[in-house]
Structure 1
Amino acid sequence: MQAVQIDSTSALLILCAFGVAWLAWGWYLGRKNKTLDDFALAGRNVGFALATATAMATWITSNTTLVAPQLTLQFGVWGMLGYSMAALGLLLFAPLAERIRKLMPHGFTSGDFILARYGRAAWAVFIIISLCYALGWLVSLSMAGGLLLSALSDLSYLTGMTAILLICVGYTLMGGLRAVIATDFVQSIVIIIGVVVIAVVCINTVSFETLHTELSARQPELLNLLFPAAIMFFFNNVFFGIGEIFHSNVWWSRAFAFAPGIGRRSYFTAGLLWLPIPIVTGFVALAAVTLGVVPPSPDMVGPMVAAKLLGDIGAVFVFIVVFSALASSMDSLLAATSDLLTQDVFRKLLRPDSDDMSLLKASKVIIVLLGLATWLISLPKLATLGALLNFTGAFVASTIWPIVYGIFDRRLTGKWAALAMTLGTVSGLCGYFLVGFYVAAIVSCSVSLLVCRVGLARATTLFDWQQLQEAPRVLK
C-alpha cells in the first residue's frame, strides 16, 4: 500500500507559491543591503530571536526530515537517538561562537581564522575539506528536493531538484544573509508545527503498543539495543555532527553576524529546541511497517509515512514542511559557501586589491555558479542521502580538534594542525570504504586528536591572540 500522492497541478501550484513568496521577500529585504557586511553578515547585528531561529532551522535539514527516518528504519532505536546527538554540535559550538566573536570582531569566514591562526598549509587543507563538505551537503539537499517531489507527487525528480535550487538561489542572491535569516525564522515555525502535528497523528493512529508488537514480530532487530552497527553509528554521528558545525562557515558566518553576546545563548537554545526533532521524525518512520508503506527509496520513508497518516491534505502539509526544512538549509549553505569562496579564494588568491563592491558582485556570481554546479552534479541520483552525507564525515571530523585547540590553546602550530586534518581525513575515508560509513567520523576524529596531542607535547612557542583581532584577507 502506497502513501497518498499530490496531483501534479497541486504540486506545481505549491512550488510557484513558494517561489513567488520567497523571491519577493528576498527582494524586499535585499533593498537594505548597502555594503558587503550587509549582504554577507546581515550588518553583524542579528538579535536573539532571529539568531536562534536561523540556527535551528538551518540544522533541520534533509538529514533531520529524510535521513533520520531512513537510518531509524536501518538501525532502529539507535538510529533516532544517534541522530538526535547531532544537537551536541550546536550546544558545544555555543561557547565557541562567543569566543570567536571576541577574538575576531572583523572576521568574515572560518578560513580567516585558520589562516591567521595556523598559516597557509593548514588553511589550504581546511579550504579543501570545507568545499568538499559544502558541495556534498548542497548536492544532498537538491537530491532531497527531487526525491521529495517524486515520492509525494506525480512530478519528476528533475523538476523537484531544479525547483528548490532556483528558489533558494533566487532569494539568496537578492537578499543575502538578511533574507536567509528572515526566511529561516518563518520556516522554523512551519517545521516545528508540522513535526508536532505529524507526531500526534502518528501516536493516535498507530499506538505505542501496536507499533512495538508489529516491530517485535516482523523486524525485532530495530528494537535491539545491542545491535553492534547501530551502536557504532550512535557514536559516529556524535563526532560527525560536531565536526559539521565546528568547521563549517555556515555556523562561523552566523557567529560573526550575531550581535555581541548573542552567539552563546542562541546556539545553546537552538540545540535544545532541535534535540527532539530527529527522535520524532525517526519514530514516524517506524510506523511504516504497521501502515504497509514501502518507499521507493529508504530516504523517502519519513515523508511517505506522514502523508499516509494525514491523507490528501496531509500530503500537501508534509510537502510544505519538508520543503521548508530543505530550503532553510540550502539558502544558508549557498550564502556561507559563497562567502568562503569570495573571501578565501577570490580575494586571498585572485584579487587581493578588490574593494567591497567588487567582492559583493563576485559573491553574487559565485552563488549562481554554486547553484549551477550543484544542479549538474545532482542530475544523476548518485546514492542515498545517508550514504552521501556520511561520506563527508571523514572530512569534517578531522577538523574538530585543530579548531578547538586553535581557539582555546596557544600551543598548537600550523604544521601539526595541517597534519591532523590530512591524516584524519585519509584514515576516516579508509574506515568508510573498508568498514562502513558508521565508523568514518570516529576514526577521523581519533586520528586527528592523536596528532594534535603529539603537536601540543612538542610545542615550543605560544601563539599571540592579538594576531586575530584583524582577520587577514590576503595571503602573505
Structure 2
Amino acid sequence: MSFQTIGILVVLVLGFIWAFIGIKVAKKVEKADDYMVGGRNVGVAFGAATLLATWVTGNTVLAAAEMSYSTGILGTIGYALTGGLGVLAFAPLAKKIRISMPQGRTVGDFFRHRFDKKNYYLFLIMLLIWDIGWLLTQGLGAGVLLESIFGIPFHTGLILTIGIVTLYVTAGGMLSVLGTDFMQTLLILAILFIFPAWVFSNAGFADVYTNIIHLAPDKMNLALPAGLLFCVVGPIMGIGEVFMDNTFWQRVFSLRPDKTKQTFIYAGLGWMFVPIAIGCLAFVAIGTGMKVDHPDAVAPLVVGHYAGKLGSVLFLSLVWACIASTVAALLNAVSAIFINDVYQVHINPNATDKQLIKVGKAVTVLAAVIAIAVAWSKPNSMMGLLLLLGVINAAYIFPITLGLFWSKTNRHGAFLGALLGSIIGLFIYGNGGFDLIFTKIQITTISWGGAFQGIIVGGLISLLFTVGVSLIQPERFNFRRLRNFESKEENIAEDKAKVLA
C-alpha cells in the first residue's frame, strides 16, 4: 500500500467518524436556535473543548511552526500570546454579551442593535471578507498538509477535507459541530504533545541547540526587533480575530450564563501550550539545516523526517482534526450570519424554523464551494494571509469593546474608526498599495510600511476615531435595548403577520 493511499484512508476513516457523529446528533435539530447556537446550556468542560477545537486550527499548527522558523524563539512566544491572550481578553466581554443579549445568536445582532445600519452593513461586508479569508487558510492548510506528507495532490486534499466537513455541518449545524468538537479536542491534545519529545529524541536535543547557536544564533535572540514587534502585534491580531469572529459569539450564546467567563479563561490558558509545543519542531529544521521550500510546511516536513511513517500518520490525524473542527465552525458561522442577519431581517422576517434551517443548509454548501474556489490557486504563505486579515481585525477591537462597555460610544465614530482603520491599515500593509491576496493595487511606494505596521496603525486609527468622536459628541445608549431586542422583533413579526392576515 502506497503512502499516498494511507493518507487518503486516514482522512476517510476520521471523516467517517466525524460524519457519523455529526449526522446522528443532527437528528436533535428542531429549531433554528439548535442550528445556529446548539442550545444555550453548554457547561465548562464541553465549552472549553469546543473553543479549543475551533481555535486550535490548521494555522495554529502550520503557521506557528512557520513563525518559529522565520523569527525564532520570539516567534514561538509571540504566537502563543496571539491566540491565548485573544481568548483571555474576550472572557469579560463574553460574560457581558451573555448577560446583555440572552437571546442573541450572532455578532450581527450586536451591531444591528447597538449601532446603526451603516455600521451593521459595513461589518457584514468585513466579516464576509474575513470569513472567506479564514476559510481560505484552512483549505490551504489541508491541501499543504496532505501534499507535503503523503504526496496527495493539493486540490484532492482540499476537496476531500471541505467536502467531508460540509456533509455533517449541513446536516446539523451547530449541534453537529458541538457533537464532534469534544472528540476532536481529545485527539488533538493526545497527539500534540507527543511530537516534541519524539522528534527531539531522534534529532538530538543537544545537537539541535548547538547547531542553532552556530548556524542561526539570531533565532535564539530574545531582543530580536522583528520578534519583539511580533510579540506586540500578534496579541493585537489575536484579540481582533476573537472579538470579530462569529464562531466565538455563537459559543457565548451556547454556554450557560454563569459559566461563560470561566470557560473562556480555561480555553485561553490551554491554547497557549499548543503553539509552543508545535513551534519547537521548527528549531529542529533550523538546527539540522533542513531545506524548507515552503515555511508553512516546516512542521510536517520535520515530523516526516524524524518520526517516520507512523509519526506522519499521527501528525496527519492531529492537523486534519484541527482543520476539520475549524472549517466546521466557520461554515456554520457563515450560515448563521446569513440566516439570522440577512435572510430573516431583510428577505423573510416571518420565516419559520423549518425555512431558516433549509436556507442555512443551502448557505453552508455555498460557503464550502466558495472556500474551495478561493483556495484553488494555492496562495504562498499562510502567515501572510493571517496578517492581512489581522488588519481588519485590529480595526474592530475598539468599536466592539467600547460598544459593549461604554454607553457614550458614538455610532459615527465607531463607523469611521472601523472603516478608516481598515483602509489605512491595508494601505500600510501593502507598502503604499492594497495587497489583496489575488491581486495588488499599487498606488505609491512607502519604505516604512509592512504587515506589522499596518495592524498597529489600523488599530490606533480605529481607537482615535472611536474615542475621539465619542468624547466630542457622546451618545447615551440604553443597554436594555440589547436585552429586549428579540421580544421587539417578535412583536414586529406578529404585527406584520396580522396585517397580512
Same fold (TM over 0.5): yes
Which residue of 165, 177, 182 maps to 1:168?
Answer: 165
- How far, CA to CA, are the matches of 1:364 and 1:418 in structure 2? 32
User: What do the CA deviations read for 1:166-194 (whole angstroms, capped 9, x no partner)?
Assistant: 11111111121112122111111111121
The yes-or-no answer on 1:156 pairing with 2:153 is yes
Which residue of 450, 463, 467 maps to 1:449?
Answer: 463
Amino acid at match of 1:419: L
Which residue of 451, 463, 468 maps to 2:482?
Answer: 468
Is the Cα contact below 8 Å between 2:209 and 2:287 reproduced in 1? Answer: no
Quote how far apart the aligned CAs of 1:207 are. Answer: 4.4
Quote how far apart the aligned CAs of 1:450 are. Answer: 1.0
Is the Cα contact below 8 Å between 2:211 and 2:288 reproduced in 1? Answer: no
- How far, CA to CA, are the matches of 2:27 and 2:200 in structure 1? 46
Q: Partner residue of 1:110?
A: 107
Is the Cα contact below 8 Å between 1:201 and 1:310 reproduced in 2? Answer: yes
Which residue of 220, 223, 235 maps to 1:223?
Answer: 220
- How far, CA to CA, are the matches of 1:173 and 1:88 in structure 2? 32
Q: Partner residue of 1:84?
A: 80
User: What do the CA deviations read for 1:294-338 (whole angstroms, capped 9, x no partner)?
Assistant: 334110101221222211111101110111111111111111111
Deviates more, 1:313-322 or 1:185-194: 185-194
Is the Cα contact below 8 Å between 1:113 and 1:471 reproduced in 2? Answer: no
Deviates more, 1:305-314 or 1:106-115: 305-314
- How far, CA to CA, are the matches of 2:363 and 2:485 in structure 1? 22
Q: Partner residue of 2:377?
A: 380
Which residue of 362, 366, 372 maps to 2:363?
Answer: 366
User: What do the CA deviations read for 1:325-378 (whole angstroms, capped 9, x no partner)?
Assistant: 111111111111110122112222222232222111111100000000111111
- How far, CA to CA, are the matches of 2:204 and 2:402 in structure 1? 48
Give the secondary structure class of the aligned counterpart of 2:257. Answer: coil
Q: Partner residue of 2:437?
A: none
Quote how far apart the aligned CAs of 1:265 are. Answer: 1.0
Quote how far apart the aligned CAs of 1:6 are. Answer: 6.9
Normalising by structure 1, report the TM-score.
Answer: 0.96
Amino acid at match of 1:439: Q
Q: Partner residue of 2:35?
A: 39
Matches for 1:293-308 after TM superposition, within 5 Å: 293-308=290-305
Quote how far apart the aligned CAs of 1:58 are. Answer: 1.0
- How far, CA to CA, are the matches of 2:364 and 2:383 in structure 1? 25
Residue identity over aligned pairs, in percent, reads 31
Distance 1:291 1:190, change over 3 A: farther
Matches for 1:377-416 after TM superposition, within 5 Å: 377-416=374-413
- How far, CA to CA, are the matches of 1:460 and 1:71 in structure 2? 42
- How far, CA to CA, are the matches of 2:249 and 2:473 in structure 1? 27
Q: Which runs of 5+ in 1 are unaligned?
A: none
- How far, CA to CA, are the matches of 1:460 and 1:39 in structure 2? 38
The yes-or-no answer on 1:56 pairing with 2:72 is no
Is the Cα contact below 8 Å between 1:6 and 1:154 reproduced in 2? Answer: no
Give the secondary structure class of the aligned counterpart of 2:407. Answer: coil
Count of equivalent residues: 472
Q: Partner residue of 2:5?
A: 9
Q: Partner residue of 1:345?
A: 342
Matches for 1:273-288 after TM superposition, within 5 Å: 273-288=270-285
Amino acid at match of 1:48: V
User: What do the CA deviations read for 1:235-283 (whole angstroms, capped 9, x no partner)?
Assistant: 1111000000011111001101112212111110001111121111111
Quote how far apart the aligned CAs of 1:291 are. Answer: 4.0
Is the Cα contact below 8 Å between 1:229 and 1:438 reproduced in 2? Answer: no
Question: Bigger relative contact order, structure 1 or 2, given CA contacts below 8 A and separation 6+?
Answer: 1
Q: Partner residue of 2:23?
A: 27
The yes-or-no answer on 1:193 pairing with 2:190 is yes
- How far, CA to CA, are the matches of 2:202 and 2:367 in structure 1? 43
Which residue of 58, 63, 67 maps to 1:67?
Answer: 63
- How far, CA to CA, are the matches of 2:274 and 2:23 in structure 1? 31
Amino acid at match of 1:462: R
Which residue of 118, 126, 146 maps to 1:121?
Answer: 118
Q: Which runs of 5+ in 2 are unaligned?
A: 432-448, 494-501
Quote how far apart the aligned CAs of 1:382 are. Answer: 2.0
- How far, CA to CA, are the matches of 1:104 and 1:362 in structure 2? 24
